[in-house]
Amino acid sequence: MKKDAYKDAGVDIEAGNTLVERIKPSIKATHRTGVMGGFGGFGSFFDPKAAGFKDPIFVSGTDGVGTKLKVAIDMKHYDTVGIDLVAMCVNDLLVQGAEPLFFLDYYACGALDVDAAADVISGIARGCEQSGCALIGGETAEMPGMYSHDDFDLAGFAVGAVERDQVITGETIQHGDVILGLASSGVHSNGFSLVRKLIDNTESLDYHSPAPYDTSTSFGASLLTPTILYVKPVLEAIRQTNAIQGMSHITGGGLIENIPRVLPKGLGAEIDLGSWDVLPIFKWLQEAGQLSQKEMCRTFNCGIGYVLIVRNADKDDVSKVLQNAGERVFEIGRIIQDDNQSVHLK
């Protein structure tokens, strides 16, 4: 068999090696206390004791970016979806009060474009750096025949830790507690199959068109605004106040599906729809899709990307810490008695 038979079959080993060299500086920037050894082995070690934990419980999660990747591919703009990938994973760990420790990524493609992959992984590294976790490993899989030439997919895997006596489960949530919402930056990374359908069904509109709600940017660039990493501000609020009873990351299913996931039996939530600033993109999506308010709130985050549940007496202290960390905080509702554990929109 000739020397470059594997390359002729669609897999370029040298391109993979080039990518590894390109991303090493970005990966190095994510190093944190607890990481043992370097990048590139068969496995990676992490020492939680060195990271300052005494009796840790590990929390793990995995997620992807979904069809938001199709927008990035069509726009040929790859440097923010990596941030989305990290955010979707580490914001989930945060709900239990966990500090993200390390992250691994999986990048699968039809044919490896070193520049595009380097941009994606650079974004992953930035997301890790901003959330205080180390990018300690990953896999790049070139699979011709499985993906078309320009397509790729991403998956992320995160592990965090929380001290055993500081785990947040939602079990202490009570009737009358206040629901605080942290502003999102836009659609984040959920609901894109519907977003893309609405754009396809709108005449003379594509990702390169001026956004109908903001003509200073293109529709695609607006949609690619990355998911907010809530980790550092929320961890600071937990440490300074010790007052957070439960939390939800508002992803697929929106406010309606995600808040009940942390509520004890017999409790529901009442949400005041006019209590926060709804971003213009959500108004456009609702009008373009002729969507009810309920459908909007179970498909999109609608401007609230993260929720914290606190006692009424603690809401000002928690809000102050979050605001000082740069978050926009809204009091969006309250916990009520409800045997169905439902979210009621007002």
> Could you tell me the pTM of the whole model?
0.91
Task: Select from 166, 189, 213 the last residue of a domain.
Answer: 166
Q: Which two tokens stand for residue 51?
A: 């990271």
CA distances for 34 relative to 57, 90, 133, 192, 229, angstroms: 15, 17, 10, 36, 21
Residues 259 and 138 in one domain: no
Indicate whether 189 belongs to any domain. yes
How does pLDDT run along the chain (346 residues), one tens digit per residue?
A: 456 755 655 555 676 567 667 766 766 777 778 887 666 566 778 888 998 999 999 999 999 999 999 999 999 999 999 999 999 999 999 999 999 999 999 999 988 898 999 999 999 999 999 999 999 988 889 888 888 878 899 999 999 999 999 999 999 999 999 999 999 999 999 999 999 999 888 878 889 999 988 889 999 999 999 999 999 999 999 999 999 999 999 999 999 999 999 999 999 999 999 999 899 999 999 999 999 999 999 999 999 999 999 999 999 999 999 999 999 999 999 999 999 999 999 8
CATH number, domain of 114, equals 3.30.1330.10
The residue among 124, 176, 173 whose CA lies nearest residue 312 is 176
| pLDDT for the residue numbered 41 | 63
Q: Tell whether 20 and 52 lie within a shared domain.
A: yes
Q: Is 106 helix (H, G, I), strand (E, B) or coil?
A: strand
Give a yes or no: residue 192 inside a domain.
yes
- What's the domain range around 46? 5-166
Kindly state whether residues 100 and 187 are assigned to the same domain: no
For residues 11-46, one letter each, b for 16 or more C-beta atoms within 10 angstroms of the residue's C-beta and e for the rest, the string is: bbeebeeebeebbeebbeebebebbeeebeeeebeb
CATH code for the domain in which residue 311 is found = 3.90.650.10
Q: Is residue 172 part of a domain?
A: no
Residue 98 is given by DSSP the state P
Q: Are residues 83 and 185 in the same domain?
A: no
Domain count within the chain: 2
Is 171 a domain residue? no
Hey, what are 52's tokens? Answer: 């300052």
What confidence score (pLDDT) does residue 1 get? 47
